[in-house]
Structure 1
């Protein structure tokens, strides 16, 4: 099947870990992910009434662990400051990285297309705090690609 691109916008909150956890829960609850067990391409888990009811249930089959969900569910946690990203982690865009890549420290939705290449590897996610016209944090953008 190959990896799939995914991206999400969520309301801003200062705790990026909590934002990731809430987003993951929302995606799981709505079934907005690919479920490898029925192995039907072009469908989402929402298409199956018998889909897993817990994440433990979701990840139990080996096929799911190998194929992933092609969604934010494939990301386990945020990378801490100074930590090297590992598979299934989300790394925030730093101010220095934003300045080097975009030329501004306060990113907006207008910068999203230029940010996308920062997700260079499969099974690694990125996130960026996006600001409104007044320069206030407004939302968080999560993106990456995962799945096999």
Structure 2
């Protein structure tokens, strides 16, 4: 099985790590993670399966998920305030024993922001709206840019985008790939 994509919206908070923790707790309590639900269907909606937590803690769920990971936001432990330091190709080279091996541990389980240049390439603005994300990343309005965007996400990592409503931050969009 290959890496599985996932994505979520959560309310904006200035403390992005707190926003991530809140989202992780919500999905854990809902039981929307592997192995409770081996393959989730995205987007998550109010009608998505919600069997409740099947483990005593998020850490126990992570351990039970083994090498596949939870295939959910539970795999992401922290938010970085700087873009991912390696391209996907550099990341894969490091995993195979090449250069940059020393920073692999800093990349796994981390959500990184998109650089301004990528936001502009995808949306034409550094302040995308919910509708723009739905149309561009989850739709098909800019296929080349979206393919490059998806290709930039390494397994076991995520990206986040601050979503704007009337020029004010309103949501955080997390999107990533599972480990396997």
The TM-score, its normalising length taken from structure 1, stands at: 0.78
User: Does 1:114 find its partner at 2:136?
Assistant: yes
Is 2:162 aligned against 1:129? yes
The runs of 5 or more residues in structure 1 that have no matched partner are none
Q: 1:65: which partner in 2?
A: 66
What is the correspondence of 1:15-34 to structure 2 with a 5 Å cutoff? Answer: 15-34=15-34
Residues 127 and 143 of structure 1 are in contact (CA less than 8 Å); yes or no, is this contact kept in structure 2? yes
Task: Report the alpha carbon displacement of residue 47 of structure 1 after superposing the two structures with TM.
Answer: 4.1
| Structure having the larger proportion of residues in strand | 1
1:83 Cα offset (Å): 6.2
Which blocks of at least 5 consecutive residues in structure 2 are unaligned?
42-48, 87-106, 139-145
Query: RMSD of the TM alignment (CA)?
Result: 2.7
Shift of residue 54, structure 1, vs aligned partner: 0.8
Runs of 4+ with deviation above 6 angstroms: none
SS at match of 1:131: strand
Do residues 53 (structure 1) and 63 (structure 2) align?
A: no
Q: Is the contact made by 2:62 and 2:74 (CA closer than 8 Å) also made in structure 1?
A: no
Length-normalised TM-score, structure 2 = 0.66
